[in-house]
Amino acid sequence: MRRIENAFVTLNGAVLVLGLAFMSVVVGWNVFARYALPSAPAWADEVARYSMIWLTFLGAGLALREGAHAAIANAQEALPSPAQRLVRILILLIMFGFFAYMVWVGIDYMNRMSVQKSAALRVPMKWVYAAMPVGFVLLMIHLALIAPRYLRAGFQYSDEAHVG
């Protein structure tokens, strides 16, 4: 199971690196074209914006693994051990519920935007909005993978909790 988790995290990270490299090339080309050529490509701003949206949602799960999202851990850590475990179970259930709800909302919103097309690329906007349900599904997978460690130790960063 640990090998599958490592492969999943590595693949998620590789997709982010490739996406960021792609977005950097597009933005760099656009800046160069604006100042050195007679005209810049009209599609570059859209590609950069939509890449950033996708990268944000694709990277949220990796940030969750590292405890990089905003959290208030002091109150939880001040409790006795059995109460900490109960609070952590409650937190996990709330997070799973919220992520599942956001997948549903994202799919609904994506379907509502299926007739709209982007201005420059003429791409159906549902593919841009698909980042939301995909990102929250990834968040659910990452949360399921780190849940056992979180129940034992919370979001404390350690070599044992760090996969990758």
Q: Where are the domains of the chain?
A: 2-153
Please tell me the pTM assigned to this model.
Answer: 0.86
**Pick from 42-51, 74-83, 93-102: least confident:** 74-83
Mean pLDDT of 83-87: 90
Of the candidates 98, 23, 99, the one whose C-alpha atom is nearest the C-alpha of residue 54 is 23
- The one-letter amino acid code at 152 reads R
How far apart are alpha carbons 45 and 53 in whole angstroms?
12
Q: Which residue has the tokens 């909790």?
A: 161
The set of residues, in sequence order, having a beta carbon less than 8 Å from that of 82 and lying 6+ positions away, is none
- pLDDT at residue 155, rounded to an integer: 60
